[in-house]
Structure 1
């Protein structure tokens, strides 16, 4: 009854873990194949990866050939920076959400400028020196007048439009 107990080293990876990692890489590969050529330009990767993706675009109507090509893309992805690729794909998929957040931040900045005045203008000019102090002051002054007179916020919209190309 003297059985040997084998101690598995921490460095060894189980077969199941290897398969899970390969499946995850294939999923990333499938997402990459689904992207357009314009979107692929924003993805970091090697020439070999992009060549494999272009081949997959050409054989997209044959199921078994496409499956094998995606499996090959997964193999190529083993030598790539998958975290950077995953981040780039997420950015492409969440572009609308990012734009919404950026617009909300810009609206808050505009409201803060109207409320705080010169101190906030100085902070903003440190971040974005291409903005004009005089133009900012003029738009903020008009926005405050409209706010006190309870008129439509035309100057606030103009301030938003002035900040948008620079601050987004």
Structure 2
């Protein structure tokens, strides 16, 4: 009777097989992210030498099956490492990337609006009073001329750069 009770208690405290598999897959996913990282960024992590070597080997493997096995091996090695700080740093880098992408999309939307809508410049001036409107008008006019004359989009690019300087945050 006591053995059965002890077994039930152990089963309740131990993670299920499904949970263990999820944890292993999560570690393997972190390992895959480490393989895809730039080597300079990888040096920012305090990883064991065996894990660094396994990541380096995975980068050179091209065959799908061999790469999958190497990633599984990296996942096993990740069990011996505290993965939380690694995941947090990877997430923070990804968040910065998302923020930069959102900013570039905002700049692109403004450029398209300035080139296609008549009242967009007035709205832009209200939102960003420090903007040099005369310079923006010149770039918009030149971008239209370049487009109609099938010339390289020099002013189109300059307009984007000008907007980058004016709009400093999303």
State the TM-score, normalizing by the size of structure 2: 0.51
Whole-Å separation in 1 of the counterparts to 2:60 and 2:53: 11
Paired position in structure 2 for 1:49: 51
CA displacement at 1:64 relative to structure 2: 0.4
Runs of at least 4 residues of structure 1 off by over 3 A? 96-100
Partner residue of 1:86? 87
> Could you say which residue in structure 1 is the equivalent of 2:137?
none
| 1:101-146 deviations in Å (ceiling 9; x for gaps) | xxxxxxxxxxxxxxxxxxxxxxxxxxxxxxxxxxxxxxxxxxxxxx
Instruction: Output the CA distance in 1 between the equivalents of 2:15 and 2:32.
Output: 25
Q: Supply the distance in 2 between the matched residues of 1:15 and 1:85 (Cα, whole angstroms).
A: 24
Q: What SS does the corresponding residue of 1:7 show, helix, strand or coil? A: helix
TM-score by length of 1: 0.52
2:36 is matched with which residue: 27, 34, 38? 34
For 2:54 and 2:77, the matched residues in 1 are separated by: 8
CA distance 1:152–1:90, shift in 2 (3 Å): closer
Q: In proportion to residue count, which structure has more helix?
A: 2
CA distance in 2, matches of 1:42, 1:63: 28
Query: Corresponding residue for 1:66?
Result: 67
Distance between the aligned counterparts of 1:56 and 1:62, measured in 2?
Answer: 10
Alpha-carbon distance in structure 2 between the residues aligned to 1:82 and 1:152: 46
Query: Matched residues in 2 for 1:152 and 1:25: separation?
Result: 49
After superposition, residues 89-168 of structure 1 pair within 5 angstroms as: 89-96=90-97
Q: Structure 1: state its 5+ residue gaps.
A: 101-150, 154-168
The CA RMSD over aligned residues, in Å, is 2.8
Task: Give the count of matched residue pairs.
Answer: 103
Unaligned 5+ runs, structure 2: 102-128, 132-170
